[in-house]
Amino acid sequence: MESCDLVFLGDGSGWSEWSNCGGAFEVLRLQWKVPTTDQLTVLIQEYLGGTWMLDGLVTHFRVERQRYESRSLITSYVSHPGVDALRRPVTLLELGKEIGLANRYALMHRDVQAIDEPIRATESGAGRRAAWLFRHRQDRGPDAGSGPTWAGSRIK
């Protein structure tokens, strides 16, 4: 089993996280903006990869690969009502191109902060897996200038 999460923070930063139950992970740190109503521009700034291990409620990340990047991606996007893999109603974000390892995400939670980013949370000690990865709610996609936080998880 694997998961891929995509987060857009109101300050224009964000990240994509992929992980599998075998203990591997990858994180892309990014900047984003919406220059037009149907276009999303993402600047991928850093790649981190390695392994993770669960210790009770604490997830420990071990960064084994890291590189700085300056890769731009311009894609179309649309946000609309849909259903998740369990047939529950959700808001979907569909991208014209993949960010991370997916192009279709279900909105999970809007109250995300920079400290919730998995590697940042562990840079100053052991971090906790962000609870927003497992919740469902809300009803809109990225909206530049309004300052909201938007996070979603890939659905197949």
Encode pLDDT of 47-58 as tens digits: 999 999 888 888
Q: What average pLDDT does range 28-55 have in this prediction? A: 91
The whole-number pLDDT of residue 42 equals 95
Domain count, the chain: 1
Q: Which of the listed ranges 10-19, 40-49, 113-122 does the model predict with the highest average pLDDT?
A: 40-49
- pLDDT for residue 127 is more than 70: no
Q: Which domain holds residue 26?
A: 2-154
Least confident of 19-33, 77-91, 117-131: 117-131
**pLDDT averaged over the chain?**
74
SS (H, E, C) the chain: CEEEEEEECCCCEEEEEEEECCCEEEEEEEEEEEEECCEEEEEEEEEEEEEEEEECCEEEEEEEEEEEEEEEEEEEEEEEEEECCCCCEEEEEEEEEEECCEEEEEEEECCCCHHHCHHHHHHCCCEECCHHHHCCCCCCCCCCCCCCCEEEEECC
Encode pLDDT of 65-108 as tens digits: 999 999 999 999 988 898 877 888 988 888 999 988 888 888 87
